[in-house]
Copies of this chain bind each other. A is one copy, B any other.
Amino acid sequence: MGWNRASIKMDIEQFVALSLGEWRSMRSGHSLAFQQFEDVLSEIKIKSFEGDNKEVKHLIQLSSVPNESDFKAPFQMEWNAESDWEPDDPSEVSAGSCIIVPIPTNAKSGRLLRSVGYAESIPAESNYTFLDDGTFILTTNYDQSIAEERIWFVSDNVRCRSSVLKTSEGSGILQSSFASEVRRVKA
């Protein structure tokens, strides 16, 4: 694929470094029970966390990981989404930001703390791991659901992101989504 996957020894610091920047995202959501599609264009900004380490430590205190855990490469994510259905309806525009703090267990996996979760608007704690080709897999247990997200780079400037949300009990799949993200390269 041009991009030399064989050379990848992906760890969380390299993954965050590759992710930093501004991205234009095309995201399709699939509601499996109702067979409904939702297509959304959005802007995503990922930048190194510039705040105080106190904020990071506070997030760690709220979590289940030991207080003195070593975190790596904390970052901040901002998004600004606009549904393509109702571009003039302000209620269809959603925006937000969160702080994300990785806490590696080893080179391939660890915990990831987020100030706001995706599926539910509360602080979220996830497990992450890298597959042998560098694909990042994030698993989050919410109260009522489990989310699995995968992110993989197709090139330095294109990444794909999929998610599947299922009920905690049994095998009900609620919805899935896929985003194609292209880096905004400054002129």
Contacts and interface: CB of A to CB of B under 8 A. Distances in A.
Contacts of A157: 171
A16 interface: no
B166 A154 contact: yes
A43 interface: no
Interface string A110-134: 0000000000000000000001110
A21 to B, nearest CB: 16
A148 interface: yes
Contact of A32 (B35, B148, B182): B182
A37 B30 contact: no
A39 interface: yes
B148 A173 contact: no
Interface in A44-83: none
A177 to B, nearest CB: 8
A178 B32 CA distance: 13
A39 B178 CA distance: 12
Contacts of A32: 26, 158, 180, 182
Contact of A135 (B24, B135, B164): B135
Contact of A170 (B2, B132, B158): B2
Contacts of A131: 131-133, 135
List 8 tightest A-B contacts by C-beta distance, closest first.
A178-B178, A28-B28, A37-B39, A30-B180, A176-B180, A26-B30, A131-B131, A132-B132
